[in-house]
Structure 1
Amino acid sequence: MTTNVRSTAPLPSDSVRPADPADPAALEALWLPLEDPRVRPLLEGLTREYDQRYGALFGGASDEMDRYPAAEFAAPHGALLILQEAGESVAGGAFRQFDATTAELKRIWTHNGHRRRGLARIVLAELEGQALRSGYRSLYLTTGPRQPEAKNLYLNTGYVPRFDVEADPETIIHLAFTKDLVPG
């Protein structure tokens, strides 16, 4: 059974499987500007995560989090999603324009206390739907070598690896994936 996540998206939200089958209406999808305070848990959570996993490998978490201006995650070429449950930001992600027909997914995150509930899959489905509605035909993303759960998520949700999946991820550094968007 699928159900709709309540969404503030300008267009109707995609149909997705609820994270908590006991209360499918508990999640709310909020499309927000990067500066909104409800986005802060995503930014702070990602910064801590990057610091713990990578240290200074990519120049430090702050460098990565400041790499793109907020305007790149705003309409009409981008979007930022936060999933809230009982008023708490529990997961999120964003996309920005990569090229004229491709959106780049960025900042995919799930709060440590809410992992293994399928929230990242919901975030991906919502972002994919919004990217399609925004006119994109494909998606591009990279993840780091020390995020095997992210690598597995993308492999299991139809993303095509653009690297040798048998190679040691530490030798690749940026694990790139692509996915064609198909109108539903």
Structure 2
Amino acid sequence: MNAGLRIERVAITHPDAQALIEAVQEEYVERYGGRDESPIDPADFEDPLGQFFVGYLDDAPVATGAWRRSSVTALGAEVTAEVKRMYVVPAAQRRGLARRMLAHLETTAAASGIQALVLETGLKQPEAIALYLSSGYEPIPGYGYYCGSELSRCFGRVLENYSPVVHENP
């Protein structure tokens, strides 16, 4: 069903990433009446702080997902990263692409020494909440920019395939 999805790591400033970020911002305006104003620093999505990905179907950019290291302590994990900019264009939705991107984020974060992922989504995105709950994420207290927001829902998941990154001395 999603076998044709090719996920590539790109800079958040890449034109395909920027076009999809703008599309998700338009979705936020439609659902919430405004853009997501949470602070984003492009450097947060470069090694060693994070990674940004675009998913392609037939060379067309259709999905994004990213993670950035976080100071949030959740679910007993001290080394966490926050999922950001999960999005699939409407024409490619309901094909399992978001689930595939989320799994990719989990795998790449765990390979970078991340113990758990945290994320925020909103009440007006029930399909996102359903995806996260069905993927093993559990509710956590609001954090950072979203702390106290009545429309926000935060989730976290300990990464099962987490393995400590070992740095060998030269």
Q: Do both proteins adopt the same fold according to a TM-score greater than 0.5, normalized to the shorter chain?
A: yes
Match of 1:92 among 50, 57, 64: 64
Correspondence 1:24-39 to 2 at 5 A = 24=3, 26-39=4-17
1:91–1:111 contact (8 Å) kept in structure 2 = yes
Corresponding residue for residue 61 of structure 1: 35
Matched, 1:172 2:146: no
Matched letter for residue 80 of structure 1: F
SS of equivalent residue, structure 1 residue 104 = strand
1:77–1:134 contact (8 Å) kept in structure 2 = no
Give 1:85 shift: 1.0
Structure 1 gaps of 5+ residues are 1-17, 164-170
Match of 1:80 among 45, 52, 61: 52
SS of equivalent residue, structure 1 residue 179 = strand
Mapped partners of 1:149, 1:45: distance in 2: 17
Corresponding residue for residue 21 of structure 2: 43
| CA shift in 2, pair 1:104/1:62, >3 Å | closer
Give 1:41 shift: 2.7
Provide the TM-score with structure 1 as the length reference.
0.76
2:43–2:49 contact (8 Å) kept in structure 1 = no
- Identity over the aligned pairs, expressed in percent? 36
Q: Deviations over 1:152-172 (max 9, x none)?
A: 000100001126xxxxxxx83
SS of equivalent residue, structure 2 residue 16 = helix
Match of 2:139 among 156, 161, 182: 161
1:73–1:96 contact (8 Å) kept in structure 2 = yes
1:93–1:106 contact (8 Å) kept in structure 2 = yes
Matched, 1:133 2:105: no
Root mean square deviation, CA, Å: 1.6
Spell out structure 1 runs of 4+ moving beyond 2 A. none
Structure 2 gaps of 5+ residues are 72-77, 142-148, 163-170
1:159–1:177 contact (8 Å) kept in structure 2 = yes
Mapped partners of 1:93, 1:43: distance in 2: 10
Provide the TM-score with structure 2 as the length reference.
0.82
